[in-house]
């Protein structure tokens, strides 16, 4: 009987907290946002970008859509549709896909990640005709929102992953399996978090005869309450040589 009373009091207490915060404008007002890069050397790669150690399992990377298998092949069923074209390059994938919807990660196994491949006779070459793909590269970030009281109301961790260095007939440096993957999302009562990814554009950083693919990945995310909404877009530039930087 005593135990049941304690449980009832605990439930009532939690409900009371939720109701009091629901009437508190400061609780539902975002005051600051912090983006923290988590540093850890990428597995023997020359690029200087860093990752979160616990998420570096290669098995997980290979399970993601569009990742080359151990022979360096990518399934043609996972390259997606044409979403951007330049003189020498074609980008394949999807125009936009959801990462987080209403505070929960969206299933990330049904989309086509972005590939930037050579254009021959007006269309993208078959990805099976490319070779020399490097190990996947990964960088992980964490976004933290705080309210007026200094409470962490939203914490979102995500990773930018891509495979680079693919060649066609011994030339060029291309991209495949470029994607943003939600690792974890934590939200307090009264806060709604959403995030999505899209291709911001593609570029050739090489020459017409020896192209070096470049792409900009854009992640748009928002935090909403009954009091206020905040919308932000972060952009990341990747290249077929393994280059990575935030814009």
Share of the chain above pLDDT 70, in %: 66
Q: What's the pLDDT at 108?
A: 55
> How far is Cα 224 from Cα 209, in angstroms, rounded to an integer?
48
pTM of the complete model? 0.73
DSSP state of 127: G
Q: What's the pLDDT at 94?
A: 85
What is the rounded average pLDDT of the residues 144-170? 92
> How far is Cα 197 from Cα 116, in angstroms, rounded to an integer?
16
The yes-or-no verdict on residue 71 having pLDDT over 80 is no
Return contacts of 132-135, CB within 8 angstroms, 24+ apart: 132/72, 132/165, 132/166, 132/167, 133/68, 133/72, 133/74, 133/163, 133/164, 133/165, 133/166, 133/176, 134/45, 134/163, 134/164, 134/165, 134/242, 135/43, 135/45, 135/58, 135/163
The pair of structure tokens assigned to 203 is 């570029």
State whether the Cα torsion 182-159-162-85 is positive or negative: positive
**Residues 172-201: tens digit of each pLDDT:** 999 998 999 898 899 999 999 999 999 999
Residues 6 or more apart whose Cβ sits within 8 Å of residue 134: 45, 163, 164, 165, 242
The yes-or-no verdict on residue 13 having pLDDT over 90 is no
**Residues 214-238: tens digit of each pLDDT:** 999 999 999 998 888 889 999 999 9
Burial group, residue 48, by CB count within 10 angstroms (0-12, 13-18, 19+): exposed
């Amino acid at each position: 009987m005593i135990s049941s009373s304690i449980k009832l009091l605990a439930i009532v207490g939690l409900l009371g907290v939720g109701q009091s915060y629901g009437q508190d404008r400061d609780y539902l007002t975002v005051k600051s946002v912090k983006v923290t890069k988590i540093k850890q050397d990428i597995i023997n790669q020359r690029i200087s970008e860093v990752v979160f150690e616990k998420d570096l399992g290669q098995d997980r990377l290979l399970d993601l859509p569009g990742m080359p298998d151990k022979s360096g092949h990518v399934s043609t069923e996972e390259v997606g549709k044409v979403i951007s074209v330049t003189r020498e390059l074609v980008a394949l994938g999807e125009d936009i896909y959801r990462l987080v919807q209403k505070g929960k990660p969206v299933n990330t196994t049904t989309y086509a990640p972005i590939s930037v491949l050579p254009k021959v006779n007006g269309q993208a070459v078959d990805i099976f005709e490319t070779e020399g793909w490097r190990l996947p590269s990964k960088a992980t970030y964490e976004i933290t929102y705080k309210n007026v009281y200094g409470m962490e109301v939203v914490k979102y961790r995500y990773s930018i992953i891509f495979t680079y260095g693919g060649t066609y007939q011994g030339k060029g440096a291309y991209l495949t399996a470029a994607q943003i993957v939600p690792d974890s999302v934590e939200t307090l009562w009264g806060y709604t978090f959403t995030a999505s990814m899209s291709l911001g554009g593609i570029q050739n950083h090489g020459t017409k005869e020896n192209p070096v693919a470049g792409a900009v990945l854009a992640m748009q995310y928002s935090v909403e309450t009954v009091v206020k909404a905040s919308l932000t877009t972060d952009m990341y530039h990747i290249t077929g040589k393994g280059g990575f930087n935030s814009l």
